[in-house]
Structure 1
Amino acid sequence: MAHTPVNHPARPVYRAIGGLIGLYLVVFGALGVIASAGNDLFAQDDTKVLGQGTNLGFSLLSVLLGVVILVGTVIGRNLDVAINQWLSYTLMVISLAGLAFLQTDANVVNFSIVTVIVLMTLSLVLLMVGMYGKVGTDDEKEAWQKARLVL
């Protein structure tokens, strides 16, 4: 992708932000598992964690996604860039589906509007992290600079 910056000066900051998002998802999911222990996997009740609606199923999914983001952040080598970009799109789809089914019986992940807003914000920040965290050779950086200046 010629439009994605290579060796951005702030890439360590972006990588740290990606790690914090993964850590937040793990903590949220772990607290959700604790809060919804004993409930059904997709219970539609008033379980809230950090002000967000959740159930055991979404809490487990949050832990899984957070661990994947953290592993990608630790490994680096542009694997974190791919993981962050793909998972940001996944989180966007999940949050938009949650918004679509918010007031229906199809709300199987027990979302609230706060959950949708937080998840969409996390996905947008994760997408930004994925787009500015790419590492490459000096030749790739020079090619990106030339492509950028053409536009």
Structure 2
Amino acid sequence: MAHTPVNHPARPIYRAIGGLTGLYLVAFGVLGVIASAGNEVLAQDDTQVLGQSTNLGLSLLSALLGAAVLAGTAIGRNVDVAINQWLAYALMVISLAGLALIRTDANIFNFSVATVIVLMVVSLVLLVVGMYGKVGTDEEKEAWQKARLVL
């Protein structure tokens, strides 16, 4: 996208924030697996971790997505930008679907309102990190600055 900054000066900070977000997702997933051990994968019970309702399925999904964010952060070279942006959109869709299905039998990930809010915040953080973490050549940076000044 032409309006996405290239070589932003705060890029290392955004990359670190992305890594911390991935660590949070992994920690939530691991703690959720421990707390929901012995339950069904998609159980709808009162299992809570870090103030959020969860089950084994959501915990495994969170750990997997967090590992993907951490892998992207470790690789860098705009791989993290793509992973962060796509996972941000996926988490938004998952959390909105969870909000829509929160009081039904279709609530397979045992969402609560707190879980939806946290997932939305995590997805917005990943989206911002993805937008400001792009690395490019000097020519791409110059083209972005020229396009920015025209606006």
The interval holding the TM-score normalised by the smaller chain is over 0.9
Counterpart of 1:35?
A: 35
Counterpart of 1:8?
A: 8
Task: Give me the whole-angstrom Cα distance separating, in 1, the residues matched to 2:14 and 2:98.
Answer: 27
Q: Secondary structure at the match of 1:131?
A: helix
Runs (4 or more) in structure 1 with deviation over 3 Å come to: none
Counterpart of 1:93?
A: 93
Deviations 1:100-127 (A, max 9, x none): 0011111110010000000000100110
Task: Give me the whole-angstrom Cα distance separating, in 2, the residues matched to 1:148 and 1:88.
Answer: 25
Counterpart of 2:81?
A: 81
Task: Give me the whole-angstrom Cα distance separating, in 2, the residues matched to 1:147 and 1:85.
Answer: 22
Counterpart of 1:54?
A: 54
Task: Give me the whole-angstrom Cα distance separating, in 2, the residues matched to 1:50 and 1:103.
Answer: 21
Task: Give me the whole-angstrom Cα distance separating, in 1, the residues matched to 2:105 and 2:24.
Answer: 28
Counterpart of 1:69?
A: 69
Task: Give me the whole-angstrom Cα distance separating, in 2, the residues matched to 1:53 and 1:92.
Answer: 17
Task: Give me the whole-angstrom Cα distance separating, in 1, the residues matched to 2:18 and 2:48.
Answer: 24
Counterpart of 2:126?
A: 126
How many residue pairs get matched?
A: 151
Identity value in percent: 80
Q: Is 2:142 aligned against 1:142?
A: yes
What is the TM-score of this pair, normalised by structure 1?
0.99
Task: Give me the whole-angstrom Cα distance separating, in 1, the residues matched to 2:70 and 2:117.
Answer: 22
Q: Please, what is the CA RMSD of the aligned residues? A: 0.4
Task: Give me the whole-angstrom Cα distance separating, in 2, the residues matched to 1:9 and 1:131.
Answer: 13
Query: Shift of residue 7 of structure 1?
Result: 0.3
Query: Shift of residue 150 of structure 1?
Result: 1.1
Q: Secondary structure at the match of 1:135?
A: coil
Equivalent positions of 1:15-34 (< 5 A) are 15-34=15-34
Segments of structure 1 that go 5 or more residues without pairing to the other structure are: none
